[in-house]
Amino acid sequence: MKVELHLHTNLYSACAVNTPEQMMRRLIETGYGAVYITEHDAVWRDSDLWGLQRTFPQIHIFPGVELSLGDQHLVVLGTNDAHYVRMADPAEIIDKARAEGHLTVLAHPFRWKGGARMLWHGALPDALEYRTCNQDALMGGVALDTAEKFHLSVVNAGDVHELSFINRFYVNTDRDVEYARDIRQIVLDGAYRLWPVEE
């Protein structure tokens, strides 16, 4: 299944250009089976998420959040618990997410200086972003080396802020993502492939 792990809309993320409806239409047109909406420091209400899902039954729409922790950005997939937005300690966020079965991904860790600082302080998420629309091949290579050092998974994600970011970087899972929490076990099992495929 083709899955987008990191997407923003202009409903909650000021840096995003397009509406949720525009994003969902483009994802469906390009063959995605699932998407995690990960607004910056904001979560969708259940009623709004379900409304969007009813409008677009062709794709599984799941909640998430991208937390800004200084220069570090931590994505929590599968939750719309607003308590995460009020938390500041990466280790506590990761512990809470693991206890609740949510995947944690350090977003574009080498985009900014200090973006991976939590790793050297012992706060290890489940995965690092490897390639995104905001992390080029050079930074991705550093992320890959760092993930190997800390025995972490890597994922590709669009880090989508506008329609042109869709269909550039994503994961193909070996099994369907039927429920929001499925993605954590899929990534931990290595049951996915990065796209584009790196040689």
Give the pLDDT score at 199.
43
- Which CATH superfamily groups domain 2-195? Metal-dependent hydrolases (3.20.20.140)
Whether the full predicted model's pTM is greater than 0.75, yes or no, is yes
Segments making up each domain of the chain, as ranges: 2-195
User: How far does Cα 116 stand from its chain's mean position?
Assistant: 16
The beta strand positions in 41-156, using DSSP E, are: 60-69, 72-77, 103-107, 127-129, 153-155
pLDDT tier at 12, thresholds 50, 70, 90: very high
SS3 state of residue 93: helix
Of the candidates 108, 133, 137, 150, the one whose C-alpha atom is nearest the C-alpha of residue 199 is 137
Q: 123-180: per-residue pLDDT in tens?
A: 999 999 999 999 999 999 999 999 999 999 999 999 999 999 999 999 999 999 999 9
Q: Which two tokens stand for residue 26?
A: 């483009």
Q: Which two tokens stand for residue 144?
A: 């890959």
- Count how many Cα atoms sit within 13 Å of the Cα of residue 93 in the half-sphere of its side chain: 31
Q: 53-95: per-residue pLDDT in tens?
A: 999 999 999 999 999 999 999 999 999 999 999 999 999 999 9
Letter string b/e over residues 172-181, b meaning 16 or more CB atoms within 10 A of that residue's CB: ebeeebeebb
Of the candidates 43, 26, 27, 47, the one whose C-alpha atom is nearest the C-alpha of residue 35 is 27
